[in-house]
Amino acid sequence: MEFETKDISFNNLKREARIAYSETQIYDLIIIGGGITGVGIALDASLRGLRTLLVEKKDYASGTSSKSTKLIHGGLRYLKQLELGLVKETGLERAVAHNNIPHLVHPEKMLLPIVNKGTFGKFSAMLAITVYDKLAKVPEKDRKKSFSKKETQELEPLLNSQILKSSIQYSEYRTDDARLTIELIKAAIREGAEAFNYMEVEEFIYENNIVKGIICIDRVAQIKREFKGAQVVSAAGPWVDVLRTTNRSKVGKSLQLTKGVHIVLPREKLPLESSVYFDAFDGRMLFAIPRANVTYVGTSDTNYQGNKDKICCTLEDANYILKATNNMFGIKKLEVEDIISSWAGLRPLIHEDGKSPSELSRKDEIFISESKLISIAGGKLTGFRKMAERIVNLVIESNKNLEPKGCQTKFYKIHSDSFQDYNEFETYLEQIKKEYDDILHSKYDAWYFVTTYGKNAKTILNSARSNSEEGIKSLLSAEIEYCIQYESCYAPDDYFNRRSGRIYFEIDSVKSNLDFIIDIFSKRFAWKIEQIVEMKNLALSYLEEVEAIQ
pLDDT tens-place string over residues 472-503: 999 999 999 999 999 999 999 999 999 999 99
pLDDT tier, 110 (very low <50, low <70, confident <90, very high otherwise) = very high
Which pLDDT does position 220 carry in this prediction? 96
Cβ 132 vs Cβ 78: under 8 Å: no
Give all domains of the chain, ordered by start, each with its CATH number: 15-64+178-254+361-411 (3.50.50.60), 105-172+256-359 (3.30.9.10), 422-547 (1.10.8.870)
Calpha distance 345→317 (Å, rounded): 12
Average pLDDT score over the chain: 93
Cα→Cα distances 135→88, 148, 227, Å: 5, 26, 43
Which pLDDT does position 1 carry in this prediction? 63
Is it the case that residue 82 has pLDDT exceeding 70? no
Of 40, 11, 34, 61, give the one whose Cα is nearest residue 497.
61
pTM, two decimals, is: 0.96
181 exposed, middle or buried (CB, 10 Å; 0-12, 13-18, 19+)? buried
Is it the case that residue 4 has pLDDT exceeding 80? no
